Chain A
Amino acid sequence: MTTATDVLPRGETSERLDLDIPYVLLVWNDPVNLMSYVSYVFRSHFGYSQSKADALMMEVHQQGHSVVATGTLEKIEADVAAMHSYGLWATFQRADQG
């Protein structure tokens, strides 16, 4: 005779809760990507307005990096892949990290 296990032990739900923590996508400065290109990518991929895209691009250029998008891990991972296909230097991390 067997019985179905009803629930996971409490301690094992932490990974599921991690999904609720927002992640951020950072774009890092490099001396190769054109300013016009970076703005274009921000506008065409994320649908940002010209002023928002230009402001983010200038932040990357002047501060060395900028948080360009925030969202679930799944969304941010896909956005990073898109940024890499454009050749931008993008990374992701949990929003509560450094």
Chain B
Amino acid sequence: MARAFKSTPRGFTARLDTTERDLLRGLFEDVAQVLAPGHDGEAPAGEVDPLWAMVGMDPRTHAAGFAAPTDAAERRLLPDAVRDDPEAALEYRRLTETSLRETKTGNLKAAALAMETGNLVFDTAAANQFAQALNDVRLVLAERLELRDEADAERIADMTDARNVGDVDEYLALLYNFVTWLQETLMQALLGDL
């Protein structure tokens, strides 16, 4: 049974059992997969031209057919930065999307690695990074659960008992609530230390 995050002299600590860690590791890896270029018919990651790499740019985002992601979960992770102006949003995306994918993927991979042990101990920077990974997992689960408004949120929040799980959506809701609980305890610990 998981123990909530708390702030201690050693850092931010929590305890997770093997099943919980396996579940979370799977979720972190799944979301990293959503962010991998090429998973959704986009240009796959190929060899990066050293000149592009040198200026920190990605030729894929400057290619003629470059567009915002079509997968809803991926789009929620990489949202438009300009409202009601697709052209300006795409321009911003060209310059920032690769870096945002890398940041998020790095957070998720670090979080997956942290699942190697049941006793989590994070310094503030690592706790911050873990919180971002948990949040991205929640965003993707929420998209799969079609969580759109507060009423949906209340419906999903009721699913907290594994014995009541009857279908995939109920299972996803259970996972969502577990990740939400863990993130909330981490937030209370981090906020208490600010």
Contact = CB atoms under 8 A, between A and B. Distances in A.
B-side interface mostly: helix
B99 A37 contact: no
B29 to A, nearest CB: 18
B77 A93 contact: no
Given A32-B138, A34-B183, A34-B187, A44 B100 contact: no
Interface string B152-165: 11000000000000
B81 A90 contact: yes
A18 to B, nearest CB: 13
Contact of B79 (A31, A43, A44, A89): A89
B184 interface: yes
B83 A32 contact: no
A92 B191 CA distance: 27
A85 B104 CA distance: 6
Contact of A31 (B78, B131, B147, B194): B147
Interface in A60-85: 77, 80-81, 84-85
A71 B185 CA distance: 33
Contacts of A90: 79, 81
A13 interface: no
Nearest to B107: A85
Nearest to A33: B135
B176 to A, nearest CB: 9
Interface in B32-89: 77-83
Nearest to B145: A32
Q: Indicate the member of A32, A37, A86 with the most B CB atoms within 10 Å.
A: A32
B142 A87 contact: no
Contacts of B92: 77, 80
Contacts of A31: 142, 147-150, 152-153
Interface string A19-36: 000000010000111101
Given A34-B183, A85-B103, A92-B81, 7 more contacts: A31-B153, A32-B153, A36-B184, A36-B187, A40-B191, A81-B96, A85-B107
Which 6 pairs across A and B sit closest by C-beta, in order of nearness?
Answer: A36-B187, A87-B135, A32-B142, A31-B153, A91-B83, A85-B103
Interface of A: 26, 31-34, 36-37, 39-40, 43-44, 50, 77, 80-81, 84-87, 89-93
